[in-house]
Amino acid sequence: MAMLFSLCCAQLIIMEKYINSANVEKISWSNDTLRIYFNTGQVVAYKNVPEGLAVGMAQAPSAGSYMRLYIVGKYAYEVEKRSEMKERNISLEHHKDTTVGLYATDRLDLIPEELKSLFFEITYDEKEVVA
């Protein structure tokens, strides 16, 4: 996969590269901001990241390891887009008081209809227990 470099009108170098990684889909760097696009859909922007670190991450054998070693905890960041799973969990937060955990309850009448498909019933047979 090719790394794209382009020169813009204001002399800004822009880099974008798709990554072959278990967690990272692609990265982009522009105007000292490194954006990491995760496979989950989350986008995190790290501020004031030097171009060399962005290029290093683009070329690293493991983008995730490189990110944890050189970027996470060292640069300010902003979550520009949360993952779909995080969005779904946030929408479930207000149901915590009607469920045990988020996924088990014996009071089905307290669960909104649109959430009932997330639940399943556990049954067990008391006839024989093997120790």
Q: Which pLDDT tens digit goes with each residue over 60-98? A: 999 999 999 999 999 999 999 888 777 777 666 655 554
Q: What span, in angstroms and rounded, lies between the C-alpha atoms of 92 and 97?
A: 10
Q: For residues 8 and 72, state if they share a domain.
A: yes
Predicted structure pTM score? 0.60
Q: For residues 131 and 102, state if they share a domain.
A: yes
Can you name the residues that pair with 45 across neighbouring β-strands? Answer: 35, 78
- Between helix 63-70 and helix 51-59 the angle, nearest 10°, is 150
**Structural domain tally of the chain?**
2
What integer pLDDT is reported at residue 112 of this predicted model?
A: 73
Please, what is the average pLDDT of the chain?
76
Q: For residues 18 and 77, state if they share a domain.
A: yes
Q: Looking at the predicted structure, is the pLDDT value of residue 37 above 80? A: yes
Q: Looking at the predicted structure, is the pLDDT value of residue 41 above 80? A: yes
Q: State the residue range of the domain holding 36.
A: 4-81
Within a domain: residue 89? no
Q: For residues 61 and 105, state if they share a domain.
A: no
